[in-house]
Amino acid sequence: MRLFVCIDPGSDNRLKLEKYITLQRKHGALGSFTRAGNLHLTLAFIGETDRAQSAAAALDALDFAPFTLFSGEIGTFSGGGKDVVWLGVKKCPELEKLAADTAQALRRSGFAIEKRPFVPHLTLGRGVRNWNASLPPPEFSALANEVVLMESTRVNGVIKYIPLHILMARD
């Protein structure tokens, strides 16, 4: 199974982002856009493994208090002629620490987590062309009070994310 660890931005924020993507499409944006139910902020990508229980146990070692995330600017990752468009998250020391602690806990459990710099974002689309940069990005705030271990799978050709384990923040 293909696994990753994330923060869910909440249904209200997913709806705001879905409306923003729809607006971009009406203004001519083309590409493969993220379905509202799949919008998330990745803390660590695990990849293919049959060790979901080990990943869940590693996450259970995390200790964090709830904190608030605020949306930032639109950004892109480019490569191979395919642009990934994303909505960034404003600098947040609690988020950076949680991402570092998550990666460290998974590495201690034997997972090969990439060591590239953490760029907090929510992917809006892949292979995107004709993005209208004049449309202001949606603003949101989200309470980060849980970390979710997700499985990424295909159901009838559609990518679906299935929560396997949820770690709640301490009170």
Give me the sign of the Cα torsion angle 38, 43, 49, 52: negative
Domain ranges in the chain? 2-168
Catalytically annotated residues: 40, 121
- Class of the CATH-defined domain 2-168: alpha beta
CA distance 22 to 25: 5
Q: Could you give the angle at the alpha carbon of 43 between the alpha carbons of 15 and 163, nearest 5°? A: 60
For each of the chain's 171 residues, which pLDDT tens digit applies?
A: 999 999 999 999 999 999 999 999 999 999 999 999 999 999 999 999 999 999 999 999 999 999 999 999 999 998 766 689 999 999 999 999 999 999 999 999 999 999 889 999 999 999 999 999 999 999 999 999 999 999 999 999 899 999 999 999 997
